[in-house]
Amino acid sequence: MKYKKYLLVAAAAVLVATASIKPAMAYFTDYQVATGYRTIKLGDSELTPPEDSVSDMVKTVSITNTGDYDVFVRVKAIAPEGVGVKLNKDSSSNWVLVGDYYYYLSSKDSNDVENDGLVLPVGKSTEPLKLDIVEPTDKNLKGHNFNVVIVQEATKVLYHQNGQTFADWKLKINGEVAD
């Protein structure tokens, strides 16, 4: 029976000893935390219907950006067979024909539609695009009524890491863009 007594005394001693150890065995440490967030907005891009008018067979087009953010714009003129569409000499030099589209660019000598686009800020309108409509010369087509359809397109202004703007006209929904 004697060992039982020693056991109890020993247990009590251990209890007292452990109660006073705790913090002394830790290493010196410290930490800090900081968090933050910022919201991004990706509204729809919206353009007004093109303000176009025809006088003396010159079609004038101007586009206004009514969306939430800056865009690049381009215009395509679809004309029936035999009808010619040409850039008028009085047209703003910002409009440059590249491929099938008239692009709104910062330089008239450029055909780099990706990097030289002129940003159309929110609420602003483009310089007028003037197109000469050339009536068909073919006998069979002459004298008939025809329509020239103006299609306008816009794409969101994208940024390279250095802040330089660029346009991705091939940007497809759910497609991949280069970073």
Nearest distance from C-beta of residue 112 to another protein, angstroms:
18
Nearest distance from C-beta of residue 178 to another protein, angstroms:
8
Reported residue count of the chain is 179
Cα–Cα distance for residue pair 165/137, rounded to 1 Å = 44
With beta carbons less than 8 A apart as the criterion, state whether 13 and 115 touch: no
If the CB atoms of residues 21 and 177 are measured against another protein, the closer one turns out to be 177
Nearest distance from C-beta of residue 43 to another protein, angstroms:
7
If the CB atoms of residues 69 and 169 are measured against another protein, the closer one turns out to be 69
If the CB atoms of residues 12 and 78 are measured against another protein, the closer one turns out to be 12
Q: Note the residues at the interface with another protein (CB under 8 A).
A: 4-5, 8-9, 11-13, 15-16, 19-20, 26-43, 69, 156-163, 168, 171-179
If the CB atoms of residues 44 and 81 are measured against another protein, the closer one turns out to be 44
With beta carbons less than 8 A apart as the criterion, state whether 12 and 119 touch: no
Q: Which residues of 114-153 are buried (b: 16+ CB within 10 A; e: fewer)?
A: eebbbebeeeeebebbbbbbeebeeeeeeeeeeebebebb
Nearest distance from C-beta of residue 47 to another protein, angstroms:
16
If the CB atoms of residues 13 and 57 are measured against another protein, the closer one turns out to be 13
Residue owning tokens 């000598």:
109
Backbone angles phi, psi at 46, to 5 degrees: -130, 140
Using alpha carbons, list the distances in angstroms from residue 23 to 26, 27, 31: 6, 9, 17
Nearest distance from C-beta of residue 120 to another protein, angstroms:
15
